[in-house]
Chains A and B, each alone.
Chain A
Amino acid sequence: MSEEKYLVDIRHEQLSFFTSAGEVKALNDVSIRMKEGEVLGIVGESGSGKSVTAYSIMGLTAQNGRIVGGSVEFNGHRIDEMKEKELRKIRGSEVSIIFQDPMTSLNPVWTVGNQIEESIRLHTEKRGAEVRKRARELLELVGINEPEKRLGQYPHELSGGMRQRVMIAIALACEPKLLIADEPTTALDVTIQAQILELMQDLKKKLGMGIIMITHDLGVVASMCDNIAVMYAGEIVEYGTTDDIFYRPMHEYTKGLLRSIPKFHEKDYERLIPIEGQPVDLLNPPKGCGFAPRCQSCMKICLAKKPPRTDFDGLHYSRCWLLQKEEFLKNREGELSHV
């Protein structure tokens, strides 16, 4: 089989934050491959490493964070080997990002126009009136009315949904190959959420860029994504197509996530089932499976050893000892007794 070209090719990435309390192992052997124009959803709870994974594609880690193992490749660049100065040329041009909170992500003391034009000037040859024209086009593209007037306004004069549209306009200024959307709708009203998601799908069709959608909202990923990575404690615990994840979930955490979505079509009154317990402390990562302490089907081996990868049809894989049961039943029955 010939080597396929990927837009994003992360292999066994390990990333740690070095804090005064010690090394926080935020990512532990994360591998992701994504083709051009694909939409990947990364799902997980706070601190699972979903944002860190995506940010590392543009070399945008906090000061004390460092890739300590593996490789990160994006659009032919080895991100983990690049210097800050080289990364700057890629950021905003080949890969862009929109953040969770549009209220605070725009600089309050500069006009919207200024902040869009800044991106255009940084990465293109356009100058003067051309820059202004492009900025106006971008605002039209993201569905903002009266673009000429908006360019002269300050962020505080716009609503939340409008500001997120401006953020998207900034991100698309140089037609990036990849757009990272870090919980782009979390801070918005539900009605506005739908509008923004619709806009993103629309733009994807028009511009054909790849999107990484970081979210803890399974509803968002279901409607938008081709593939989904479920992350827990700095690892991908399950990966597959959207159908795989929703109809054939293999990992206990994924199943738990799906159980905690409200279902409206069920006739019977049904309680939501929360996942009990707290996320792991990555300062002292567990020896075994990160989810084991919260898992209903936890076995002795889960606490002692990291589960290997189990592959299913196509891209679908998961890391869980339960899936290895058959392999093990043959000779190591003792280790599989439930605790």
Chain B
Amino acid sequence: MPKYIAKRVLMALVTAFLVATLTFFVMNMVPGGPFLAEKAVTPQAQAAMEAKYGLDKPLHVQYLTYMSGLLHGDFGLSLKKRGRTVAQIISTKFPVSARLGGIALLVAVFFGVPFGSVAAFNRGKAVDNVLVVFSTAGIAVPSFLSSTLLMFIFTTKLNLLPSLGLKNPQSYIMPVIALSLYPASYIARLMRSSMLDVMGQDYMRTARAKGVSNFMSIFKHAMRNAILPVITYLGPLLASLMTGSFIIEKIFNIPGLGSEFVGAITSRDYPMIMGTTIFLAVFIIAMNVIVDITYAIVDPRIKLR
């Protein structure tokens, strides 16, 4: 296990380096610059600004400067938010997205796993049909539609929930629902099909032949096997939920990392783009390692090498 983790950390570093390099050059190939959108920029003023941030130097020099800064843990200064470092911005924005995403993940698992299992136990019956219809809808409906719909019902019509920000616990309700709708539906479908598969396995018949109760055969014998595909899915899901959804953060006006990232790209805030991309890459790798380890714990047949 320690050997496996060391190997994955090393691979993460290599990946981060590749991501950083690729992003750096692709980013600079895109036309436009950070100071073009500002009003009444004289050529002299623009030149002065570019000189200040080192953008007047040749690209490879800029690259080396950035990478050596990165090696020292310096993500640089934001070009748009004057006087704030990229590290500061990420460390204030990421927790907001991570908390929201973490809650959404728990909600998705909490509803997806039991609903999928219940559908499997009642295969072909009314309960199953209803759950299948709902989970299909949950996958098909885009989040901007579900969020606006939620907002329309709970804020405009019923005036029950606040529509903007994350000031109090109630304000989490709608963004969490909107964010977890897709993963919950997806998990329910995964769970349903894998539970159906497990229920037909010989070891379930063995459990029955031993006189194991229905409850125990489901929770002890079926669940641990059936949950494996869900765990596999949790890796990328965890990363995508916790790093923030641009759409949800925009609609509910949440100051998270997702909207910050997209904002940085449109405004050509080079250090911010670099910082966020590298951060997300490392985060996604880390989440996948955690999931791999969990997988090996749940399924003894998996050996981590």
Contacts and interface: CB of A to CB of B under 8 A. Distances in A.
5 contacts: A60-B209, A92-B212, A108-B225, A110-B220, A122-B211
Interface stretch (A25-33, A36-44, A94-102): A94-102
B38 interface: no
Interface in B195-245: 201-203, 205-213, 220-221, 224-225
B298 interface: yes
A107 B300 contact: no
A6 interface: no
Interface of B: 201-203, 205-213, 220-221, 224-225, 298-301
A104 B300 contact: no
A119 B220 CA distance: 13
Interface in A80-112: 87-93, 96-97, 99, 101, 104-111
A110 B300 CA distance: 8
Given A89-B211, A92-B209, A122-B211, A108 B202 contact: no
B94 to A, nearest CB: 35
B212 A154 contact: no
A176 to B, nearest CB: 11
A110 B212 CA distance: 15
A60 B208 contact: yes
A89 B300 CA distance: 30
A61 to B, nearest CB: 11
A91 B213 CA distance: 11
A216 interface: no
A122 B300 CA distance: 24
B300 A118 contact: no
Interface in A102-139: 104-111, 118-119, 122-123
B201 A104 contact: yes
Contacts of B206: 99, 105-107, 167, 170
B299 A108 contact: yes
B209 A101 contact: no
Contacts of B201: 104
A109 B299 contact: yes
Nearest to A97: B209
Nearest to A103: B202
Nearest to A99: B202
Contacts of A58: 209
Interface residues of A, number: 29
Contacts of B212: 88, 92, 118, 122
Interface in A3-21: none
A306 interface: no
Q: Which of B203, B207, B221 has the most CB of A within 10 A?
A: B203
B213 A88 contact: yes
B210 A122 contact: yes
A170 B300 contact: no
A156 interface: yes
B221 to A, nearest CB: 5
**Is chain B's interface secondary structure helix, strand, loop, or mixed overall?**
helix
A108 B301 contact: yes
A213 to B, nearest CB: 16
Contacts of A107: 203, 206-207, 221, 225
Contacts of A167: 206
Interface string A35-71: 0000000000000000000000010100000000000
Contacts of A90: 211
Contacts of A154: 300-301
Nearest to B228: A109
Closest 7 CB pairs of A and B: A92-B211, A91-B211, A92-B210, A104-B202, A107-B203, A88-B211, A154-B300
A156 B301 contact: yes
A261 to B, nearest CB: 29
Given A104-B201, A104-B202, A119 B300 contact: no
A101 B202 contact: yes
A89 B213 CA distance: 10
B224 to A, nearest CB: 5
Interface in A237-294: none
Contacts of A118: 210, 212, 220
Contacts of B203: 104-108
A90 B208 CA distance: 11
A111 B207 CA distance: 14
A97 B203 CA distance: 12
A123 to B, nearest CB: 7
Contact of A99 (B205, B211, B301): B205
B108 to A, nearest CB: 23
A82 to B, nearest CB: 13
Contact of B202 (A105, A109, A119): A105
Given A108-B203, A108-B300, A154-B300, A119 B224 contact: no
Contacts of B300: 108-109, 111, 154, 156
B305 to A, nearest CB: 16
B225 A119 contact: no
A329 B270 CA distance: 104
Nearest to B299: A109
Contact of B208 (A91, A93, A108): A91
Contacts of A92: 209-212
A107 B225 CA distance: 9
Nearest to B206: A105
B197 to A, nearest CB: 12
Contacts of A105: 202-203, 205-206
Contacts of A97: 209
A205 B299 CA distance: 39
